[in-house]
Structures are given as structure tokens and as C-alpha cells.
């Protein structure tokens, strides 16, 4: 839902370090696309082919970026 309600132009896209040379990463468009696809799949993607690999991933949110952390 963040792609629909969050003001990305003033937050993440406005602070994007790529903005000066290439234009900001359009996080809002990416979030909306993912959300739209989730609704097309009735909110539940087919995960039947996904197998456990014994690892976990956490996203630690910070003020301006998120850091993926791989743990075992």
C-alpha cells in the first residue's frame, strides 16, 4: 500500500543519490507494480516451487536506506 499513499517524491525519491545524474529511482512506481501484481494473484503468489535453503533474511530499516542482512 505504501506505493499508493506514501509521498515518495518528497521522501525516498527526493533524496535519491542518483537524482542528480540519472534521475531518481522511481520507488513509488515499483511499489505500485508489485502491489498490483499481488492483487492480480489474489494476494497470494504461487510459492510451490520455493524450497527452504536453511537461511533467513531480515530488512533493517534506517532513516534513508534499508540494509538486507543475511543470517544463518
| Average pLDDT value for the chain | 76
pLDDT 10s digits, 41-55: 776 777 889 888 898
Cα 52 to the chain's mean position, in Å?
22
Q: Domain total for the chain?
A: 1
13 vs 7: CA distance, rounded Å: 9
Domain range for residue 62? 2-71
State the cell numbers at 31: 511499489
What pLDDT was estimated at residue 67?
A: 56
What pLDDT was estimated at residue 60?
A: 67
- Does the pLDDT at position 40 exceed 70? yes
SS3 state at 18: coil
- Does the pLDDT at position 69 exceed 70? no
* Closest among 38, 11, 41 to 26, alpha carbons compared: 11
Q: How confident is the model at residue 9 (pLDDT cuts 50, 70, 90)?
A: confident
Amino acid at each position: 500500500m505504501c506505493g499508493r499513499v506514501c509521498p515518495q517524491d518528497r521522501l525516498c525519491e527526493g533524496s535519491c543519490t542518483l537524482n542528480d545524474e540519472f534521475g531518481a529511482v522511481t520507488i513509488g512506481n515499483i511499489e505500485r507494480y508489485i502491489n498490483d501484481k499481488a492483487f492480480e494473484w489474489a494476494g497470494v503468489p504461487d510459492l510451490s516451487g520455493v524450497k527452504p535453503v536453511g537461511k533467513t533474511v531480515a530488512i533493517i530499516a534506517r532513516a534513508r536506506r534499508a540494509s538486507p542482512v543475511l543470517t544463518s
